[in-house]
A and B are shown apart, each in its own frame.
Chain A
Amino acid sequence: MNTVVRGLRGFATYMGSLMGADAYRKYLEHFEATGHSGPAMTEREFWRDRMDRQDSNPQGRCC
């Protein structure tokens, strides 16, 4: 039973990272590792920034 739960949880985590749900966590990791002067963006600011940057930097989707 435990392995089933673990498997499902692993799959959910995988799907999450696949869709980019962990983008903020990775941003924070990077931010802490490099040590900026100002404070890091909040989660809300980060997602706003991420979406808005896509506006001027579109990524193709294939046929």
Chain B
Amino acid sequence: MGKISDQSKLAEGLDPTLPPPAVEDSVREAEESRWTPAKIGLWIAISLLGAVAWFMLALVRGETVNAIWFVFAAVCTYLIGYRFYSKVIERYLLKPDDRRATPAEYKADGKDYVRTDRNVLFGHHFAAIAGAGPLVGPVIAAQMGYLPGTIWIIIGVVLAGAVQDYLVMFFSMRRGGRSLGQMAREELGVIGGTAALVATLLIMIIIVAILALVVVNALGESPWGVFSVGMTIPIALFMGVYLRFIRPGKVMEVSIIGFVLLMAAIIGGGAVAGTEWGAAFFHLDKVTIAWGIIIYGFIAAILPVWLLLAPRDYLSTFMKIGVIVMLALAIIVVRPEITVPAFSEFAGRENGPVFSGALFPFLFVTIACGALSGFHALISSGTTPKLIEKERQTRFIGYGGMLMESFVAIMALVAAISIDRGIYFAMNAPLALTGGTVESAAQWVNSLGLANVNITPDVLEQTAKDVGEESIISRSGGAPTLAVGLAHIMQQFIGGPGMMAFWYHFAIMFEALFILTAVDAGTRVARFMLQDSIGNFIPKFKEASWRPGAWLCTAIMVAAWGAVLIMGVTDPLGGINTLFPLFGIANQLLAAIALAVCLAITAKRGVFKWLWIVAVPLAFAAVVTITASFHKIFSPVPAVGYFANNQAFSKALADGKTEFGTAKTVAAMEAVVRNTMIQGVLSVIFVTLSIIVIVAALLATIKAIRAGGGQDNEDPPVPSKVYAPAGLFPTTAEKKLLAEWNALPVEKRTQKAGHH
């Protein structure tokens, strides 16, 4: 494979007039394996604190548990995983070499390929991967108690999610920033590659649809929410025009203006919703909002990026960093007491009201983002690898960035479980169960027989009033619950009870902002994928600037996710309850696909001894998602199996019944028959495509093991002429080398590539 000649060529190609572009291997290894007493003490302290925190969460069964233990358990486990496990991956599996130039260096163009400071890129990458997913999944999973979700989020990210992000980022970087789809085609051949592409496209449609469903559920019958989220559109348009024509490039300035306007929109929303005309005009039912989002999605995806997408992206990034820092501070300062049990009554059952299905496998698909998210593979390949300065930084950015997202998921979980369990179930169960009024909801919640839950209609009424809503009954989808939890914590931190309504709508606003950005960007990416695929048969479609083609493909994509969205909104069984598992399954099937590609690449690199690092999360993701899919397809329990439900309702219709289960009319029953059939067929397609990809990857892996390695599709190595440290804090050796570089005259320090 020419590895050795590559290495020596690399060494020969280094510029002798410059300091070395990497810390000498022997120096680095000596530094890494030197354990001073202070260092040993520090890691013992971290381990002890983590152990105590896990002990408090998992084994001590008091009345309550303090939220601070969630923070300690998470942070200590992340630190250990980062310092030790990701180091193992780096040293034995990936073997980054700082003497090699990254695409940002050897392809530098000042636009897409730009060397970016590692700390900036960390934030950038984090803002690109974190969205509404880690905020919503853990809330829904809280049905089973706090412990299963907590364990999966923290352990899952260390062994699976962060590993996937890190590997995909590294392999993409070695390939000039190629996308996951391109890598799949290269490594797995035409069949595996095509299956991966089709699966990615379908999965994106499902993900966009269900994210949109979360927004619809949060805004339905909420004049305040509709007004303030609606205002983000004119605000973004204004920002877009400002940046384009008034003051180009003043990104920070316009973001601050946008932020101020956004706050004004939230406060103004309360005033508008308080007036009679405002309440009447912005009081929209879910179906209307769903159509609004579909029409908006189409227009937003065909408008130029500068007008709507880019400014909203700035706003969304600004809010994301701000909200997360604020929430972390609030949880540490307020330290709420959690009364939710470690395992709830629903942990051992498969008919929970919030999401249906048994703990294994459905908890592991309900929390996708935050523990293992396949969608990240699309971000980790492509955008970020083109900006990385040095190879060794991928550990910090890829693995570390995902740990950060996991921490967001933990905070969302804490916020959701800090509210009363009675309120939680009243908010998250479908309308068909709660009945929609405070009296019927309270009665239903109390009839569940949950320990320490005894809710009165007054409490539900009062909570709705506190957050400035008419009702909080059956506001499923996770976002409203998180918003109540966040408002509950934040008002203790800033503003007091009078501020609860503001914080609630602040939370709804930022979730909607993240989701609308994801919907818009997702539609665009999917449209390009479709155009590219059709372009293989009708070449004209490959031209991105050909309007009819672009509009047609956008319309097809919007129609696809729009159909799923309308289906979810009108579903008599409660759309989130049945569709959210499909979202998680789709996301993790994508993770399985990404890990399968990584497995094949790793085997072709010839490092068989450490193949388990990829094989373990792949096996877990594959088992979880394929089992979950099989449950959804073959389970005889109507609440779990799509086809079982389909048959039950078909039979009821055939028997001439006019109502069945939660469907109260014949039309509703027909809707259930239609929806379950579509959902079932989608499950079958997803799982089939994923199995094809996994099998193709396994075949490629076995072939590589037999041959002792395989074809290396990396770009040829180019000697690097720049240096930067690998992690957040430079080590002594790194500082020394950095000082050598900094001592150079400025014009020698910046790399001069003569390729233009």
On A, residues with C-beta under 8 Å from B are 12, 14-21, 23-24, 26-31, 33-36, 43-44, 46-63
Contacts and interface: CB of A to CB of B under 8 A. Distances in A.
19 contacts: A15-B318, A17-B120, A18-B317, A19-B252, A19-B255, A21-B250, A24-B249, A26-B114, A27-B110, A30-B109, A31-B110, A34-B108, A34-B752, A44-B249, A48-B306, A54-B309, A54-B310, A59-B382, A62-B373
Interface of B: 108-112, 114, 116-117, 119-120, 123-124, 127-133, 207, 211, 243-244, 248-252, 255, 304-306, 309-310, 313-314, 316-318, 321, 369, 373, 375-376, 378-379, 382-383, 514, 517-518, 521-522, 524-525, 527-528, 544-545, 587, 750-756
A20 B311 CA distance: 12
Contacts of A53: 111-112
A14 B123 contact: yes
Nearest to B129: A62
B131 to A, nearest CB: 5
A16 B527 CA distance: 31
Contact of B249 (A15, A30, A43): A43
Which 7 A-B pairs have CB atoms at the shortest separation, nearest pair first? A30-B110, A51-B306, A63-B133, A58-B524, A21-B251, A56-B544, A61-B521
A61 B313 contact: yes
A62 B133 contact: yes
Nearest to B520: A61
Nearest to A18: B123
Contacts of A14: 119-120, 123
A16 B549 CA distance: 37
A63 B545 contact: no
Scoring B248, B321, B383, B522 by chain A CB atoms within 10 A of each residue's CB, the highest score goes to B248
Contacts of A21: 249-252
B369 A60 contact: no
Nearest to B311: A51
A61 B545 CA distance: 22
Contact of B310 (A16, A28, A51): A51
A54 B730 CA distance: 34
B518 A61 contact: yes
A63 B255 contact: no
B614 to A, nearest CB: 22
B248 A48 contact: yes
Contacts of A62: 128-131, 133, 369, 373, 375-376, 378-379, 518
Contacts of B317: 18-19
B522 A61 contact: yes
B521 A15 contact: no
Contacts of B369: 62-63
Contact of A18 (B112, B124, B306, B754): B124
Given A14-B119, A16-B252, A63-B207, A51 B305 contact: yes
B754 A34 contact: yes
B251 A36 contact: no
A34 B304 contact: no
B304 A55 contact: yes
- For B252, B316, B378, B522, the residue with the greatest tally of chain A CB atoms inside 10 Å of its CB is B252
A7 B108 CA distance: 31
A54 B321 contact: no
Given A24-B249, A43-B249, A54-B305, A36 B521 contact: no
Contacts of A18: 120, 123-124, 127, 317, 321
A51 B123 contact: no
Contacts of B248: 43-44, 46-48
A38 to B, nearest CB: 11
Contacts of A26: 110, 114
A48 B305 CA distance: 10
Given A27-B110, A30-B109, A43-B249, A61 B131 contact: yes
